[in-house]
Amino acid sequence: MQTHPIADARHFSLREVQRRTLVEHDDLVVELLCFEAGQRLEETPDPSGCVYQVLEGEALVREPNGTTRLRKGVLGSLAAGAEHTLENAGGGLLVVMRTRSA
């Protein structure tokens, strides 16, 4: 088993959302997404869907049919091909773990 310290992967920039790959296998990718206040990330629709887990802060997931608020400790899943935008809903930092198929 390999371990991947999340604290070591946290990195923030005022210029853009920071992505760090924590795990990458033949069939699985886990990324850490780090947002400063006010930042957003327009995600390319994933052909196999994805799962977001908020580790710190609060996120908004905007889809064509509505908006969902994700708080710390909550998982959100998106179906394959879902168009969406992920954004920092608060005035502080936002850290999100994204899991998807490779």
Q: What is the CATH number of the domain that holds 70?
A: 2.60.120.10
The residue with greater pLDDT, 2 or 62, is 62
**Total domains in the fold of the chain:** 1
Per-residue pLDDT at 71 exceeds 90 = yes
Does residue 9 lie in a domain region? no
What value does the mean pLDDT take over residues 50-60?
96
Q: Distances in Å between the alpha carbon of 27 and those of 30, 41, 50, 99?
A: 11, 23, 13, 11
Which range of residues forms the domain containing residue 89? 16-100
Torsion angle, alpha carbons of 14, 55, 96, 1, to 10: 120
Q: Model confidence at 45, in pLDDT bands (50, 70, 90)?
A: confident
Question: How much is the average pLDDT of 3-20?
Answer: 94
Residue 55 confidence (pLDDT) above 90: yes
* Domain contains 21: yes
Is residue 23 domain-resident? yes
Mean pLDDT of 74-87: 93
Is residue 20 in a domain?
yes
At 87 the pLDDT is 97
